Amino acid sequence: MKKRLTAFLALTLSQFALADGHPTITIPDESFSLKGKMLNIELTDAGGVVTVEGIAGRYGRVYLTYNMTLNPNADSQGPFTGRGMGISEDGARQAGSRNGVWKREGTVITFHSLDDVTDGNQNLCKSVLDLSTGEFEMTFYPM
């Protein structure tokens, strides 16, 4: 009975959360992933710059920068801007601007961003970088 009451309350309250007129964010079903490695890290008093590379399907070899700024109230998170560039095997170049937020937990930094690419695509991205191994993985969802 307790489980039924909890489920009923959750469904009832979720209707109020959606009924307040705010749009919802839907994660697209289609996604692509790339695995790569950290190439460089440059630290500054305000944050730092991380550069990674990997292979990303139609974009070919991809290079990404994360220009990270520290949150003044929490030194394990903050905003970032960046650029991405891919060169496919046939020499086609695509580039993109990146904007988002990052958070570090232990040796792992997670980045969430919205990317605007020169081929007309926009992507919602989640990237994970392990500072202890240099391993990098990014999943992006075409919008």
Q: Is residue 66 part of a domain?
A: yes
Q: Across-strand partners of 61?
A: 55, 87
Q: Across-strand partners of 28?
A: none
Domain limits for position 118: 31-142
Which amino acid makes up residue 24?
Answer: T
In total, how many domains does the chain have? 1
Q: Is residue 11 part of a domain?
A: no
Q: Across-strand partners of 82?
A: 98
**Residue 4 half-sphere exposure, CB side, CA atoms within 13 Å?**
1
pLDDT (tens place) for every residue of the chain, 143 residues total: 455 444 443 444 444 455 567 788 777 788 888 999 999 999 999 999 999 999 988 889 999 999 999 999 998 999 999 999 999 999 999 999 999 999 999 999 999 999 999 999 898 999 999 999 999 999 988 88
The CA radius of gyration of the chain, in Å to the nearest whole number, is 19
Q: Is residue 12 part of a domain?
A: no
Which amino acid makes up residue 139?
Answer: T
